[in-house]
A and B are shown apart, each in its own frame.
Chain A
Amino acid sequence: MISVERFCESLKNRNITFLSGVPCSILKKIINYALNDSQITYVPAPREDSALGVASGAYMCGRASGILIQNSGLGNIVDSLTSFNLIYKVPVLMIISWRGYLGKDAPEHSVMGEKTLDLLEELGISYGVLEEDNLDHLIDVIVSSMNKQKIPGAIVLRRGIVE
């Protein structure tokens, strides 16, 4: 388990201090931390594509930004990614919860749970699954790939990894 403080500090250490998102129970500690940290701006979006739009606007102003979304919401941002971020070259860090991991979850999460990593792969987005021992390495790899390609990258979080 990674503490929420450590996770959020690792974002702040890389100047990722503008976040927008739609809540998920897996992300609740991170979102609550972001809401209460004066160094982080968190915009509560009505939909995942709104979150991506707001974070993309922040990037335009020179601010490193990220979104916090459930993997179900990955479906809601596919057009924004393919028609905007991937072709205008607007990198935003996507922190995505993984409901439906190994099929052990509510039925509505089973299909996207199985397809989440494949979908990121198909979109050509760099991603990695957060483990107990890879936090700083993973963020460095993803952020460096984002900066090189100028497109979004994703960190995928299973339940219980950040508490």
Chain B
Amino acid sequence: MNRTEAIKAIISSLSEEDVALFTTGLISREAFSIRDRAGNLYMLGSMGLLSAFGLGIALNNPTRRVVIVEGDGSALMSLGNFTLIGSLKPKNLCHIVIDNESYESTGGQPTVTNFIDLTQIASASSYSLVDRMGSLDDLSNELLKFLNSTGPVFLLVKVQISNKEEPPRVALPPEEIKERLMRFLKHGV
């Protein structure tokens, strides 16, 4: 499975009322080009900030599911947030890491997740449910069950580097991305 397929599967499993947060780089660009929606937030920069931001939303909006989608590079940058999420235990938080073992957005330099297993870090951080998926069939079949489990849940999605053309940049100004999500959080779908 490649990143595009993984993100397509994730987005097609979301409920309309879910908040979905996407990290900087190709993950945001991919999500924007697959299906933009009011409940999406694209964090264009500030790599590593996303999981704390998602936690803040999940804690203050406990009836709405918050899905964090970041890459291995972004997760590695803020491993401390795993411990914070695991200790505060927001039931409505889903943390998904798309792991291609590299910084693909910047030319494919390796990370360290080829031999460091992020699911073990999530387990040690007391997430309620931790899983790993390496095939598109498994992801498509299991994702809904995973999303509907009591959080915080952690899913590692192992993907291959894709050689296809990069998706276009997110064509929304940052302030509009924020205002849109605030309206969505306030008024619902």
A41 to B80, CA, bound (A): 20
- The answer on a CB contact under 8 Å between B178 and A80 is no
CB distance from A54 to the nearest CB of B (A): 4
- The answer on a CB contact under 8 Å between B59 and A60 is no
A56 to B58, CA, bound (A): 12
Q: Which residue among A57, A63, A87 has the maximum number of chain B CB atoms within 10 Å of its CB?
A: A57
- The answer on a CB contact under 8 Å between A62 and B59 is no
- The answer on a CB contact under 8 Å between A80 and B49 is yes
Interface of A, helix, strand, loop or mixed by DSSP: helix
A2-33: contact bitstring with B at CB < 8 Å (1 yes, 0 no)?
00000000000000001010000000000000
- The answer on a CB contact under 8 Å between A54 and B53 is yes
A138 to B149, CA, bound (A): 46
CB distance from B56 to the nearest CB of A (A): 2
Number of interface residues of B (CB under 8 A): 33
- The answer on a CB contact under 8 Å between B56 and A45 is no
- The answer on a CB contact under 8 Å between A58 and B56 is yes
A52 to B43, CA, bound (A): 14
Neighbouring B residues of A52 by C-beta, 8 Å:
49, 52
- The answer on a CB contact under 8 Å between A53 and B174 is no
Neighbouring B residues of A87 by C-beta, 8 Å:
45, 174-175
- The answer on a CB contact under 8 Å between A18 and B60 is yes
A28-64: contact bitstring with B at CB < 8 Å (1 yes, 0 no)?
0000000000000101111101111111111111110
- The answer on a CB contact under 8 Å between B54 and A45 is no
- The answer on a CB contact under 8 Å between A49 and B178 is no
Q: Which of B96-104, B107-115, B161-169, B181-189 is the contact stretch? A: B181-189
Which chain B residues numbered 151 to 180 have a C-beta less than 8 Å away from chain A? 174-175, 177-178
Which chain B residues numbered 20 to 54 have a C-beta less than 8 Å away from chain A? 43-54
B39-82: contact bitstring with A at CB < 8 Å (1 yes, 0 no)?
00001111111111111111111000000000000000010110
CB distance from B85 to the nearest CB of A (A): 10
- Which of these, A50, A79, A83, contacts B81 with CB under 8 Å? A50
CB distance from A151 to the nearest CB of B (A): 11
- The answer on a CB contact under 8 Å between B88 and A43 is yes
- The answer on a CB contact under 8 Å between B181 and A50 is no
CB distance from B54 to the nearest CB of A (A): 6
A128-163: contact bitstring with B at CB < 8 Å (1 yes, 0 no)?
000000000000000000000010000000000000
Neighbouring B residues of A49 by C-beta, 8 Å:
48-49, 52, 78
CB distance from A61 to the nearest CB of B (A): 4
- The answer on a CB contact under 8 Å between A84 and B45 is yes
- The answer on a CB contact under 8 Å between B52 and A57 is yes
- Nearest A residue to B177 by beta-carbon distance? A88
Task: List residues of A whose CB falls within 8 A of some B CB.
Answer: 18, 20, 41, 43-47, 49-63, 65, 79-80, 82-84, 87-90, 150
Other contacts beyond A61-B185, A89-B175: 18, CB < 8 A: A50-B80, A53-B53, A53-B81, A54-B53, A54-B84, A55-B56, A56-B53, A56-B56, A57-B57, A57-B58, A60-B53, A60-B178, A60-B182, A61-B56, A80-B49, A87-B174, A89-B178, A150-B175
5 contacts between A and B (CB under 8 A): A43-B84, A46-B83, A54-B59, A61-B57, A61-B61
